[in-house]
Amino acid sequence: MSLLPLLFAPLLSLQGVGDAVVAIENDTPETWTVEYPRLIQPYVGDYRRCLVGQNRRVTGEADFERQHRADLPACEAAFDKALTASNAALAGRENYTDFTAQDVRDVFEHIGRIHIARGADLDNQFRLRLQRAARARAEYEDTKPPTLVLELLDASVVKARTDATAASAEAAMENDDAIN
């Protein structure tokens, strides 16, 4: 028996398998990229720290995009300083003659757009969690057995109910004592 048929057998068997549809879910549906000379990294870092270092308020509403958008005017001085310092660092460098002042401005504006997009992403995550919680609650209400009643109450609720029913319970006990 020749070895040649044994070598080609796996390949021939794989030819009979049809192309199966494979669904690949994108884990990162939106990817932002900023490319700039490493020489201006410290100025990019200063501007990003200003944007990230602004105060955020968790209000229970999806308003992080608005808050992130408000960071741009708050960091305008850092933007101008980073832009000026970056242009000064690149000026006169032979390696960066094709990187214009407008290219530097575009880098910093792009960083601002990324910052706003992060706020929008937080808003989307917040809305999705609220929707999932509402769906889970509705599903639970729809599928729970009608005879199952289980309440977990904290001590303040139990005390309030006890106080509310204490007078009627005491009157009922006195009524039982009077009958006996």
> What's the pLDDT at 2?
56
> What's the pLDDT at 12?
46
Report how far residue 114's alpha carbon sits from residue 34's, in angstroms, rounded to the nearest whole number. Answer: 9
Instruction: Calculate mean pLDDT across residues 104-133.
Output: 92
Report how far residue 101's alpha carbon sits from residue 80's, in angstroms, rounded to the nearest whole number. Answer: 12
If you average pLDDT over every residue of the chain, what do you get? 79
pLDDT at 17 over 60: no
Other C-beta atoms within 10 Å of 82: how many? 24
pLDDT at 9 over 60: no
Band (pLDDT 50/70/90 cuts) for residue 93 is: confident
> What's the pLDDT at 22?
39
Name 71's Cβ contacts closer than 8 Å, sequence gap at least 6. 50, 51, 54, 115
Cα dihedral 110→113→117→120 (10° resolution): 180
> What's the pLDDT at 104?
92
Instruction: Calculate mean pLDDT across residues 107-128.
Output: 92
